[in-house]
Chain A
Amino acid sequence: MAERRTLMDGVWRVLLLLWAISIIFPVIWILYQSFRTNAAFFQDIWALPTELRWGNYSKAWNDYNIGKSFANTLYYVGVSLVLGTFLTTLNAYALTRMNFRGRKLIWGLIMLSLFLPGINALVPQYILMKSLHLTNSLTGLVILDSFGENVFFLMLLGGFMSSLPRDLEESAFMDGASIFQMFWRIIVPLSTPGIVTVAIFKFLGLYNNFLGPFIYLGDPAKYTIGVNMYQANMKMQYTSDWVTMFAGVMIVMVPSIIFYVIFQRRIMEGATMGAMKG
């Protein structure tokens, strides 16, 4: 059915386009400015680069110690992601597909977290981490972010698992499998789509986590990429080295962009699910 195009359609299309431009253009602008010299940039903030100065990128990489902070981020995000996803999968299975005494009580306690905004717990949490000697340590952050309950992930994965057929376990036990084998060989493979969605959101949360690393990491050699760029920007107020900063921001954005391109559809689906459950 062909719609009739009216004047209003023109207005709407311009509106949609403007919002898209507001997102794309700043990124493109930073991208092309990151190839210019500071002198040229200060002269005219619109002009396109006359040559591709990759030197800005290597300067950003070295000046801001991005290599080191990427390695830190990789360790923090990687270990938390694997450990956290593994624990969440086990936990979701036990809490949704196994019957045991105290299960209702545990669910109740977990649901309590929906009422805890978390912000009032920042100080006691910091004191606790300090007394456990887990501050100023990437491993400490991993521990803080891997162990715990998350309603969103439990509901997402638990919902997925409870849609699997009821007699899966029964028939596995009949064949003589232990509960560990059954979990690892049957439940995990069948729940992979749910596990992947959980892992995607854990990854986004961890890679983009700023407050945690900012509070707990004092030593610049341990900065994650987000904290590193924040500190670099603080220093830039004195150095005015804009193009290097632009290059640095582009480097930090690359993993997000790649990740988004690969998982775009799943991210959008999962985000909707999360909002409706929360």
Chain B
Amino acid sequence: MNAGINGNEAVVRKRQGSDKARRQRAVFLFLAVAPSLLGYFLFTLYPNVMSVYYSLLDWDGLTGATYVGFDNYVNMVKDQFVWRALYHNLLYMIVVPALIVFISLLLAYLLNNKSYRENSIYKVIYFFTNVLSTVVIALLWSFIFDGSFGLLNGMLELFGLNMNDFYWLGDSRTAFWALVLPMVWGGVGLYVVIFINAISAIPKSLYEAAVLEGARPMTILFRITIPLIRGVIRVCVVFVILGSIKGFEVIMILTNGGPEGSTDVIGLYMFNLAFGKEYHNYGYASAIGMFLFVILVGAKLIIDKCFPEENVEF
């Protein structure tokens, strides 16, 4: 009898305890999930949804907005600056990823497959550009490209080439290509490290077998190394391509699209429409933003389709 009462009490107490525990669990869960999720709704999802609506408005941010339907999109198609910017994007999208992937693959291969004494320090140096901010990278390169006191012209002069204070970023013929350098320079380090890790995961026995068969280094590179890290290369290419479509900070700081629009890209064009010095056009900027959104998602889908993911097994 006694034991029974005690047992019941224990059950009641346990249930009370678990009630309390359940309440605590609910509070904890709420505190853990809600702040981040709310922030995500408010600062990410809501603006993304609103950007569709804003793209249908004529709005300078000061006076009231008027609904104009698809006018912004019609104007966009007619806007030659949009097409010029897109053409620049397309060029950067081809040149920058190609250079970054080629250079970082070569450097990674050399660092991994050659045992030069200085290799370990190189890896650390190469990655250094990836911890620098875009502003610092851009400022460094503005010092390099300066016409009168820049490093590049100074270097050329050492080799007997007098550039007569040629401003690389001030001339519409050279500015576009000059900007490729900071983009590549700032990006290579990360991919060197990624490729080194991928290459060193390839079993040594494969290389040894190839060497025994008398394969030359170039054959090994193209027949063993590259095919086996194809998956990693693919991810990196997607990364750099998408980054080069939406990235514009380096360009903004170094040339802000000039001279004569020769370095304008779509992201920067949109940014200046929305936040530039002269006038603001939120509706039009949003329409271009939506266009960019479609391009980026499209590019992602096309890449996924054309280069399906393959898993390589060793």
CA gap between A6 and B114 in the complex, in Å: 12
Chain A residue contacts of B132, Cβ below 8 A = 208, 253, 256
Main secondary structure of the interface of B (DSSP, over half): helix
Whether B32 and A94, one on each chain, are in contact in the complex, defined by CB atoms closer than 8 angstroms, is yes
Q: Which partner residue on chain A sits nearest B282 by CB separation?
A: A123
Chain B residue contacts of A233, Cβ below 8 A = 139, 142, 253
Whether A124 and B133, one on each chain, are in contact in the complex, defined by CB atoms closer than 8 angstroms, is no
Question: B286 interface residue, CB < 8 Å from A?
Answer: yes
Whether B111 and A120, one on each chain, are in contact in the complex, defined by CB atoms closer than 8 angstroms, is no
Chain B residue contacts of A275, Cβ below 8 A = 190, 194, 235-236, 239
Within the complex, the shortest CB–CB distance from A139 to chain B, in Å, comes to: 14
Question: B185 interface residue, CB < 8 Å from A?
Answer: yes
Chain A residue contacts of B161, Cβ below 8 A = none
Interface residues of B in 225-247 (CB under 8 A from A): 232, 235-236, 239, 242, 246
Known: A41-B149, A256-B132. A128 touches B33 (CB 8 A): no
Question: A178 interface residue, CB < 8 Å from B?
Answer: yes
Chain A residue contacts of B185, Cβ below 8 A = 22-23
Whether B131 and A42, one on each chain, are in contact in the complex, defined by CB atoms closer than 8 angstroms, is no
Whether A117 and B21, one on each chain, are in contact in the complex, defined by CB atoms closer than 8 angstroms, is no
Whether B135 and A15, one on each chain, are in contact in the complex, defined by CB atoms closer than 8 angstroms, is no
Whether A95 and B134, one on each chain, are in contact in the complex, defined by CB atoms closer than 8 angstroms, is no
Question: B143 interface residue, CB < 8 Å from A?
Answer: yes
Number of interface residues of A (CB under 8 A): 88
Within the complex, the shortest CB–CB distance from B69 to chain A, in Å, comes to: 18
Chain B residue contacts of A39, Cβ below 8 A = none
Chain B residue contacts of A118, Cβ below 8 A = 44, 246
Known: A91-B36, A119-B289, A121-B48. A226 touches B29 (CB 8 A): no
CA gap between A17 and B114 in the complex, in Å: 14
CA gap between A112 and B289 in the complex, in Å: 18
CA gap between A227 and B249 in the complex, in Å: 12
Q: Which of B6-14, B75-83, B91-99, B293-301 contacts A (4 or more CB under 8 A)?
A: B293-301
Interface residues of A in 185-228 (CB under 8 A from B): 204, 207-211, 215, 226-227
Within the complex, the shortest CB–CB distance from B214 to chain A, in Å, comes to: 15
Within the complex, the shortest CB–CB distance from B243 to chain A, in Å, comes to: 10
Known: A22-B185, A30-B143, A249-B140. A117 touches B293 (CB 8 A): yes
Whether B293 and A229, one on each chain, are in contact in the complex, defined by CB atoms closer than 8 angstroms, is no
Question: A113 interface residue, CB < 8 Å from B?
Answer: yes
Q: Which of B124, B139, B285 has the most CB of A within 10 A?
A: B139
Whether A147 and B43, one on each chain, are in contact in the complex, defined by CB atoms closer than 8 angstroms, is yes
Q: Which 3 A-B pairs have the closest CB atoms?
A: A147-B39, A120-B289, A208-B133
Q: Name 10 A/B residue pairs within 8 A (Cβ), A-sorted.
A: A24-B125, A94-B32, A117-B246, A117-B293, A120-B286, A121-B44, A124-B50, A144-B43, A183-B28, A268-B123
Residues of chain B touching chain A, judged by Cβ–Cβ distance below 8 Å, are: 21, 24-25, 28-29, 31-33, 35-40, 42-48, 50-51, 54, 61, 103, 106-107, 110-111, 114-116, 118-119, 121-136, 139-140, 142-144, 148-151, 154, 158, 185, 188-190, 193-194, 197, 232, 235-236, 239, 242, 246, 249, 253, 267, 270-271, 274-275, 282, 285-286, 289-290, 292-293, 296-297, 300
